[in-house]
Each structure stands twice: as C-alpha cells, then as structure tokens.
Amino acid sequence: MTLEILTSEHLTPVRHGFFTRKGGASSGVFSGLNCGSGSSDQSAAVEINRQRVAEAMDVEKSALVGVHQVHSADVVTVTQATSERPKADALVTSTPGIALSILTADCQPVLFADHDAQVIGAAHAGWRGALDGVLEATVDAMEALGADRANVVAVIGPSISQRAYEVGPEFFETFMMEDPDYARFFAGGEGDRMQFDLPAFGLHRLRSTGVGIADWNRHCTYFDEDRFYSYRRSTHAREADYGRLISAIRL
C-alpha cells in the first residue's frame, strides 16, 4: 500500500509530511506505518516503516532525526545527522538534508518553517508540553538560528479533537492555576467531566508567540481509525499497545 502523506500549503515548498498509518509493514494493533521504536511492535517492522519514511523525505534513514519524547518544553538544535535521541520534545535546524521527526498518537505534531531564513522545527505538544511552553521554546530556538518569528509558519497535524478528549476536574484546575482565561478551551461533559480542546489551545499558544501563520489541519486521530493511531482509542478498546504516527520536515 502506498504511503499517505498529509501536507500543508503553508509549509510548501519545504519538504514535509504528516504521515498517516497507511502504507506500513506492521500488523495487528500496529497495522500500518508504526514508527514507534518504543512500542512492543516487531523492531524489524518499525525499521522498515522508518526506512519508507526516510525515502519519502529523500534522506538516508540515519538523517531521519528524532528525540526521546518526555512531555517537556526542551528543544534540541540539530547540526548533523545522528542516531542519538536526547530527552526533549522539539527539534530545530538550519542544516539541509536533515529530516526532523516527531512521533504522536493523539498529541499535537507541529511543524515549523521560516522560508526566508531557511530554518525549520518540529515539536511534540501534548497538553503538558503545550502548557509548559514547548511551542514558544521552539520558536525561540528557531530565532537563535536566524529565523524571524513574524515569518514563521506553524502547522498542527492530526491530533485528538475536543469531542474525544474527556478530562477530569483536576486537569481543569491545572489550567486554571496557570490562567483563568484558559476556561475557554473547555466544554461541559458528563457529570464532573469536561472536554478539552487541545488543538485550539495549541493555536492560541502559537499565535501568542507572534508567528506569521498558525494552522491546524483539522484531522482527529481518535475518530479516524483507518488513518491514524490513537492512544486514547486504544485505551478505550483495551488494546495492549498502540502505534505511533510520524511527522517530518527537512530543508
């Protein structure tokens, strides 16, 4: 099966893609393009999948660079291809030929580009990372490489949507302690439960940085099982594990 790669006109002509699960070698609950080496999937299948992504990005597999994601606000500046995966949740580079990659399964994959300065970035932004400032930190790191935030475009890829993201009162209180205005990202749910709008929160944080364009491609990971992996959907189905989607960008 052919790979399915979602792209954004805002990031074009920089080569990039939010890869769906289609076109991969994995099977079972991982069926498709599972690129998560931290999953319990067969390592050989994951490596085949990552090779297919590297070929689609027109780089050697060694140049498909990622990080060990820990829901932080830490950003790594990449200057050369490396197999090392430091603990962080975003990457930036101005070096051609390196594909920055992020893995997600409901959290926001965010790809960044300053076309004029030729600086790119990629961030993994779940609720914790977004609240702690990973998106702002990515823009700051791009500026350190010569980008101008007013020229930066940032696109959020497939993420869990508000109607699938039920949270409890302690989650809501965590946001209220940061800023009572964040109540606008929550809608009422059953009982004491609420529905959190992660992509809207991500867009708010991005726009607050002063980037030129911030957009979400409006694909929900939870409700489109044929195309996307979802941690929450897998949990509700009581599956033992779940696949990880990959998003990548390169100069």
- What is the structure's pLDDT at 228? 98
- What is the structure's pLDDT at 189? 85
Is the pLDDT confidence value at 1 over 80? no
Q: Tell me: the pLDDT tens digits for 150-162? A: 999 999 999 999 9
- Distance between CA atoms of 122 and 74, rounded to whole angstroms? 12
Give the C-alpha distances (Å, rounded to integers) separating 204 from 9, 160, 207: 20, 16, 5
Q: Where are the domains of the chain?
A: 5-161+197-250
- What is the structure's pLDDT at 134? 98
The full length of the chain comes to 251
- What is the structure's pLDDT at 83? 87
Is the pLDDT confidence value at 94 over 80? yes
- Distance between CA atoms of 131 and 141, rounded to whole angstroms? 18
The average pLDDT across 213-218 equals 97
- What is the structure's pLDDT at 55? 97
Q: Tell me: the pLDDT tens digits for 14-38? A: 999 999 999 999 999 999 999 999 8
Is the pLDDT confidence value at 122 over 90? yes
> Would you state the structure tokens that stand for residue 69, as one six-digit string?
């994601």
Q: Tell me: the pLDDT tens digits for 137-150? A: 999 999 999 999 99
Q: Tell me: the pLDDT tens digits for 160-211? A: 999 999 999 999 999 999 999 999 999 998 899 999 999 999 999 999 999 9
Please give the mean pLDDT across all residues of the chain.
97
The second-level CATH assignment, the architecture, of 5-161+197-250 is 4-Layer Sandwich (3.60)
> Would you state the structure tokens that stand for residue 228, as one six-digit string?
């996307």
